[in-house]
Amino acid sequence: MTKTTGTDPLPDRLRRAVATGQAGLHRTWQHAVLTALLVVLLIPAALLVAPGFIGPEPPAPAPPVPAWQQAPASLSGGQGLSDLDPSAVVPSRESVTAQVEAVLKADGGGTFTGMVQDALTGQVLFDRGGAEGRVPASNLKLLTAVAALRSLGPNHRFRTQVAAGPAAGQVVLAGGGDVLLGAGESADGQVMGHAGLATLAARTIEALLASGVTGELKVLLDDSLFSGPPLNPAWQEGDVAAGEVAPLFPLAMNSARFNAAVTAGPRPQDAAMAAAEEFAFRLRTAGAAAGLTVAAGVERSPGAAQAGGDADRTVLAEVESATVAEQVNLMLQASDNYLAETLGRMAAVAAGGPGSNDGATATVRAQLNEAGIPADAMTLIDVCGLAMGNQVSARQFTEVVRAITSGPDPALREALDGFPVAGLTGTLDTRYGDGSTEAGAGLVRAKTGTLNTVLALSGYVVDADGRLLVFSFIGNGLTPGAAGNRTALDRAATALAGCGCR
């Protein structure tokens, strides 16, 4: 046992604990003093440094920008026009002309013609050779859009059918105008691939089993809905070889592309047979589990296509395309030549004419005349704009855009979503990015047109005063590859977007 003395009343263990506590208290007091000192020193330093993190005081709010002048942060499902105030000020012709003339200049050779009109009244605000026929390039697709919407109707769908063949064990795949078929299952929410060959094959097998068919099947192809040469002789061989267009048939996959995701390069030269062979493959796959086999190879059937109708043909299965309105918008956004030519032929068939190039051009002209847009002076060699022999004036294009944006036919309003939006969508997605045109980004909506010596831009814009303006600018004989020509078009449209031209 440890002995304690009178001079040391605390046990050693307790003494050590007290000593430790005193030392800790002493250190704690020192820390408190240091902490307080640091706080005193840091407060002014923080006040000096803080603005670097939180920034200066916000400036006074800017005046509100009109809704029609606000570039969208994201794209809505529909990009049509909201109601506009008809009392908004119409810009003066002198001011509009001065602004457009200052920027619509050719870079090198060639010339630009153009016209700007007030959409509601038709008042001409700029006119440089607006009545002169010009090679329009893909702006011609605007005319095809009007014809398709009027002749077919915006809600019409094309049917791809499978019918019983003329002999036992035969099935006939009949093209009905859908060239956006997908290889797989039907995709209801899409335009490309809305109708799928795998779905059509599965439905065909179900129908065959229900009717007691057994054994081997033979696939026949009926693509007789279109007539005349499948290739327009006015198209240049180089354009066909490069995949700008391909021989026309009333059924195809991916708008006559090998792959929907690859929109450039060579196309299948027999898109109907390629689709039929894919259908035979899908039919073989679907029939295997049911004990049905499919013979190798596909042959063309001499029978009439479904549009004319073979009254004795028994339809086994069918799939439907996206609506005409949806296809028109895809055609305009992507500037798809194959789809444009198909829609033109289908418009001709719906109007009672032949599904040929001549039928398509005649139908486009007739539908424009019926819509109140004089078209007799036009020269139409095709309906996609690839032919250099086409002749359409800027005035005719502004009248077409007027009809779409504010004319009396509500069916034409369905084409509004097809106009590419500057800097955001379609063939305008990479334009309007420099300092001279960025003010038009999100505001200008226009169809582009591009050939080797041709550039065109036709569309609409709501100006700074809330007035809807339509325009068309067409350059012919331009120096190939001169970058300033496209910029000139975009600057002219941007000038209209920012116009408070009173």
472 carries an active-site annotation: no
Give a yes or no: residue 429 inside a domain.
Answer: yes
255 carries an active-site annotation: no
Give a yes or no: residue 348 inside a domain.
Answer: yes
Annotated catalytic residue, options 186, 335, 356, 472: 335
- Residues sharing a CB contact under 8 Å with residue 16, sequence separation 6 or more, in sequence order: none
The answer on 485 and 397 residing in a single domain is yes
The answer on 165 and 149 residing in a single domain is no
The answer on 313 and 414 residing in a single domain is no
- State residue 294's pLDDT score: 94
The answer on 97 and 144 residing in a single domain is yes
Q: Determine how β-strand 293-294 pairs with β-strand 216-222.
A: parallel
Give a yes or no: residue 211 inside a domain.
Answer: yes
Q: 461 pairs with which residues across the strands?
A: 469
Q: Determine how β-strand 170-174 pairs with β-strand 445-451.
A: unpaired
Give a yes or no: residue 404 inside a domain.
Answer: yes
CA distance 52 to 451: 53
Q: Is the dihedral of CA 208, 212, 218, 223 positive or negative?
A: negative
Q: Where are the alpha helices (DSSP H) in 261-386?
A: 271-288, 324-334, 337-350, 357-370
The answer on 354 and 253 residing in a single domain is no
CATH number of the domain encompassing residue 407: 3.40.710.10
218 carries an active-site annotation: no
The answer on 270 and 381 residing in a single domain is no
pLDDT, one tens digit for every residue, the chain (502 residues): 333 333 333 333 323 333 333 333 333 334 443 444 333 344 444 444 344 434 445 555 555 655 545 555 554 444 455 667 888 999 999 999 999 999 999 999 999 999 999 999 999 999 999 999 999 999 999 999 999 999 999 999 999 999 999 999 999 999 999 999 999 999 999 999 999 999 999 999 999 999 998 889 999 999 999 999 999 999 999 999 999 999 999 999 999 999 999 988 999 999 999 999 999 999 999 999 889 999 999 999 876 544 344 556 799 999 999 999 999 999 999 999 999 999 999 999 999 999 999 999 999 999 999 999 999 999 999 999 999 999 999 999 999 999 999 999 999 999 999 999 999 999 999 999 999 999 999 999 999 999 999 999 999 999 999 999 999 999 999 999 999 999 999 999 999 999 888 7
Give a yes or no: residue 44 inside a domain.
Answer: no
The answer on 337 and 303 residing in a single domain is no
Q: Kindly give the interhelix angle for 337-350 and 357-370, rounded to the nearest 10 degrees.
A: 70
The answer on 178 and 204 residing in a single domain is yes
The answer on 201 and 100 residing in a single domain is no
What strands lie across the sheet with 468-476, from one edge to the other? 124-128, 111-118, 468-476, 454-462, 445-451
Give a yes or no: residue 35 inside a domain.
Answer: no
Give a yes or no: residue 37 inside a domain.
Answer: no
The answer on 305 and 165 residing in a single domain is yes
- In total, how many domains does the chain have? 2
Amino acid at 109: G
First to last CA, the chain: 111
The answer on 245 and 149 residing in a single domain is no
Last residue in a domain, options 268, 300, 322? 322
Helix, strand and coil percent figures for the chain, each rounded to 5: 40, 15, 45
Give a yes or no: residue 6 inside a domain.
Answer: no
As given in the structure block, the two tokens for residue 294 are 């499919």
Give the burial string for 137-171 (b: 16+ CB within 10 Å, else e). bbbbbbbbbbbbbbbbebebbbbbbbbbbeeebbb
Annotated catalytic residue, options 138, 301, 393, 406: 138
Last residue in a domain, options 255, 290, 322? 322
- State residue 62's pLDDT score: 53
- Its domain, for residue 235, covers 159-322
The answer on 275 and 136 residing in a single domain is no
Last residue in a domain, options 322, 354, 382? 322
State phi, psi for 231 to the nearest 5 degrees.
-115, 130
- State residue 61's pLDDT score: 57
- State residue 87's pLDDT score: 87
- State residue 39's pLDDT score: 39
